[in-house]
């Protein structure tokens, strides 16, 4: 039972590590006005593997963590992460959850959708400048490529971190259909 309380904490720490790495990369890419987003990767693995009660314990704090360091209205990432987690959780019965390829596809899809929704939210707030759409498209393509490239590493990181914490990550897959 204790391991059930450690699950969210372990995955949140992995998410913060991913955010830190992404923030550092973004620091170096700022010279070229580029920005990478890996939020979908933080949500996808948890939504594919865990029970619904654990998913919100993971996505809400990670979303709030991103909100604290972003120029978005506070709670925006948290709400979008929760929504993405719920949607992935609802459709996960139709996909193989253990397969790394399905995790990569879910992460890239969630990342692209979250990126577009956040971009639209910013576009609604004020006038859009001429070169912004091109920059957003480049950022979306680069973010999708990065997520596809590092998703297998991140999934393995989370699985290994859960194992080191004494939690068998593969036990999560024996869930009932209504979870």
Mean pLDDT of 147-165: 94
For 109-136, the pLDDT digits (tens) are 999 999 999 988 877 877 767 778 888 9
* Cα angle 112, 118, 123; round to 5: 120
Given this model, what pLDDT does residue 72 score?
A: 80
Separation between Cα atoms, residue 161 and residue 165, nearest integer Å: 6
For 46-68, the pLDDT digits (tens) are 899 888 889 999 999 999 999 99
Given this model, what pLDDT does residue 179 score?
A: 44
Separation between Cα atoms, residue 154 and residue 125, nearest integer Å: 33
Query: Which positions ≥6 away from 142 have C-beta within 8 Å?
Result: 34, 36
Give the domain ranges of the chain. 2-165
pLDDT at residue 15 greater than cutoff 70:
yes
For 30-44, the pLDDT digits (tens) are 999 899 999 999 999
Residue 73 vs residue 168, higher pLDDT? 73
Q: How many residues does the chain have?
A: 179
Given this model, what pLDDT does residue 175 score?
A: 42
The tokens of 166 are what?
Answer: 């004494």
Specify the pTM. Answer: 0.86
């Amino acid at each position: 039972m204790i391991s059930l309380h450690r699950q969210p904490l372990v995955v949140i720490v992995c998410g913060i590590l991913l955010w830190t790495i992404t923030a550092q990369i973004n620091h170096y890419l700022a010279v070229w006005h580029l920005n990478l987003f890996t939020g979908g990767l933080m949500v996808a693995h948890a939504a594919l593997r865990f029970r619904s009660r654990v998913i919100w314990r993971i996505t809400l704090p990670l979303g709030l963590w991103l909100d604290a360091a972003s120029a978005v209205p506070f709670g925006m990432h948290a709400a979008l992460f929760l929504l993405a987690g719920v949607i992935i959780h609802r459709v996960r019965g139709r996909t193989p959850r253990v397969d790394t390829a399905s995790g990569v596809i879910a992460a890239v899809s969630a990342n692209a959708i979250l990126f577009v929704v956040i971009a639209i939210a910013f576009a609604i707030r004020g006038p859009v400048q001429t070169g912004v759409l091109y920059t957003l498209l480049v950022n979306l393509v680069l973010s999708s490529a990065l997520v596809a490239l590092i998703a297998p590493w991140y999934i393995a990181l989370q699985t290994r971190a859960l194992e080191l914490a004494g939690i068998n990550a593969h036990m999560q897959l024996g869930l009932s259909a209504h979870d």
